[in-house]
Structure 1
């Protein structure tokens, strides 16, 4: 699955398109070492296909690579962070 990252100023978006439908995870950069994930949206056509999980894993991988932490304000990302104790190195709060 190809996940794209777009960042404009302090706002960013990870997106993945499958079968013509796009799921997204949006974030705000609070500082050079902290992002706040505030929304995850997956259209009904993509539910159950692992898009949300792939976006969350991508955010964690990017945080590890970039050396920043994630505040999971989005309920989906917060739930994923609780399910994955191995992500705690990049989760704040």
Structure 2
């Protein structure tokens, strides 16, 4: 089963997805002030591709944004496509 954790130093951070204690992928972000963050990269290690982990990472970012009342600027090509495809997450777009 996959587990997602968040690291955040106040300027930059990342969501890490791991499976059986092995890092499977990450989504990195940079804060743009206190009310927005930029998703700059989403990537899944080759060994774990095809399991939907990139989507899970973006959705974890969406859940975090909703919980904290902040907005997302998706500069990462994958995250940008995810927001274009899914109307249910557009409420957190900056």
Query: TM bucket by the smaller chain?
Result: over 0.9
**Is the counterpart of residue 18 in structure 1 residue 19 in structure 2?**
yes
Aligned partner of 1:44 in structure 2 is 46
Q: Aligned pair count?
A: 92
In 2: Cα distance, 1:2 partner to 1:18 partner: 6
Q: Give the TM-score normalised by the residue count of structure 1.
A: 0.93
Q: Give the corresponding residue for 2:55.
A: 53
Q: Secondary structure at the match of 1:37?
A: strand
Unpaired runs of 5+ in structure 2?
Answer: none
Name stretches of at least 5 consecutive residues in structure 1 with no aligned partner. Answer: none
TM-score (normalizing by structure 2): 0.92
The separation in 2 between residues aligned to 1:16 and 1:64, in whole angstroms, is: 19
The answer as to whether partners of 1:21 and 1:46 remain within 8 angstroms in 2 is no
Partner of 2:89: 87
Pairwise CA RMSD? 1.0
1:31 equivalent in alignment to 2:33: yes
Runs of 4 or more above 4 Å deviation:
none
Displacement of 1:64 after TM fit?
Answer: 0.4
